[in-house]
Chain A
């Protein structure tokens, strides 16, 4: 299932991380009680990043590919 998330080349992989980093961690932040749910996003992203990268690193090692 994670295979679908793996970009094909290293720089695409970085761009995926960049997209996630921007959409999850940046952008307009509204504080206050009007919003329904924004909490916990940072935390989950760190976990995601770890997971994504370890999957990819495993794949890279297998393919003997340079970053």
Chain B
């Protein structure tokens, strides 16, 4: 299984095999046997000093740049391969820290993998130590727009005043009531957005004490993309909208406290219009280093 000399012998040039790396773990003799991203090619381990790469050979007919680009357009193929990548990383994560690699990080040979491990050895070790005994959890915030709007209308004195004015002028001066109504709607929308932003900040602050490190990502839009944040508001679900997408690195011993905090927020603020949903544990994708010159 980890017979490096045999199993990991560099394939002869031209036989069309690359080395797909799933992640980096501390050197260990006890490693699970796991299926790789390609059928029939199990995961192997490429050690280099105190760390090792979790890898498997892949066919370049499938994973070289050109065929990969084509294959990734096939959603079913992509979803299956992403699932397999994730399964390998999760199999590692149970008993040791793991740094997951980005999808389709592929090298030409085990030697190239070893060179990469050597080159970034210090960063890998430092990052492995950092994520040790910690889990990544996702927290998404769902804002209920109508709920937020109602709360704002109830509480905001200016809006209250406008509503009363509107009630009066609706009878006396229907024309000006129309414009007043429009001004009121605009103000209510503005206040709703302010309140939403405030709740998002409060939610983040509520979770911060039980979290080692926190990454605020752009919300995963159910419609549209992050490049076009207006898309979801314009044509999304009329009820809830994702307005917060957090990645939290949590000490394993603190996970229950952290999840209790999420529950507490939901119980205390059920009528406030921001509901939190936690997911995890994830491998520390959001807390893994970006290495090299042009890494983003």
Q: Which residues of chain B from 72 to 107 have a CB within 8 Å of any chain A CB? A: 72-73, 75-76, 78-79, 82-83, 85-86, 99-107
A14 touches B140 (CB 8 A): yes
- Chain B residues contacting A5 (CB-CB under 8 Å) are 75-76, 79
CA distance A9 to B1 in the complex (A): 39
A11 touches B277 (CB 8 A): yes
B292 touches A24 (CB 8 A): no
- Chain B residues contacting A54 (CB-CB under 8 Å) are 223
B102 touches A19 (CB 8 A): no
- Chain A residues contacting B285 (CB-CB under 8 Å) are 22-23, 26-27
In whole Å, how far is B120's beta carbon from the nearest beta carbon of chain A? Answer: 8
B64 touches A30 (CB 8 A): no
Q: Which residue of B lies closest to A31 (CB)?
A: B292
- Chain B contact residues: helix, strand, loop or mixed: mixed
Q: Which residue of B lies closest to A42 (CB)?
A: B296
A-B contact pairs, 10 of them (CB 8 A): A4-B76, A14-B279, A20-B79, A22-B285, A29-B295, A34-B108, A36-B108, A40-B72, A52-B75, A67-B222
- Chain A residues contacting B68 (CB-CB under 8 Å) are 37
Q: Which residues of chain B from 113 to 133 have a CB within 8 Å of any chain A CB? A: 115-116, 120
* Apart from A19-B86, A36-B60: 10 A-B pairs, beta carbons within 8 A: A16-B79, A17-B222, A23-B100, A24-B103, A25-B102, A29-B290, A30-B105, A30-B295, A36-B63, A66-B239
Chain B contributes a number of interface residues (CB within 8 A of A) equal to 64
- Chain B residues contacting A41 (CB-CB under 8 Å) are 72, 102-104
CA distance A50 to B289 in the complex (A): 28
- Chain A residues contacting B291 (CB-CB under 8 Å) are 28-31
- Chain B residues contacting A21 (CB-CB under 8 Å) are 217, 220
- Chain A residues contacting B83 (CB-CB under 8 Å) are 19
A15 touches B279 (CB 8 A): yes
CA distance A37 to B71 in the complex (A): 13
- Chain A residues contacting B182 (CB-CB under 8 Å) are none
Task: Convert B192-232 into 0s and 1s, putting 1 for each residue whose CB lies closer than 8 angstroms to a CB of A.
Answer: 00000000000000000000000001001111111100000
B residues with a Cβ closer than 8 A to A are 18, 23-24, 60, 63-65, 68-69, 72-73, 75-76, 78-79, 82-83, 85-86, 99-108, 112, 115-116, 120, 138, 140, 142, 217, 220-227, 237, 239-240, 242, 277, 279, 282-283, 285-286, 288-296
Q: Which of B60, B102, B107, B138 contacts A18 (CB 8 A)?
A: B138
3 pairs of A and B residues whose beta carbons are closest in the complex: A31-B292, A26-B285, A22-B285
Q: Which residue of B lies closest to A66 (CB)?
A: B239
A31 touches B295 (CB 8 A): yes
CA distance A5 to B81 in the complex (A): 13
CA distance A29 to B101 in the complex (A): 7
CA distance A66 to B64 in the complex (A): 41
In this complex, which of A1, A26, A44 has the most chain B Cβ atoms within 10 angstroms of its Cβ?
A: A26
B18 touches A31 (CB 8 A): no
Q: Which residue of B lies closest to A16 (CB)?
A: B79
B99 touches A30 (CB 8 A): no
- Chain A residues contacting B63 (CB-CB under 8 Å) are 36-37
A39 at the A/B interface (Cβ < 8 Å)?
yes
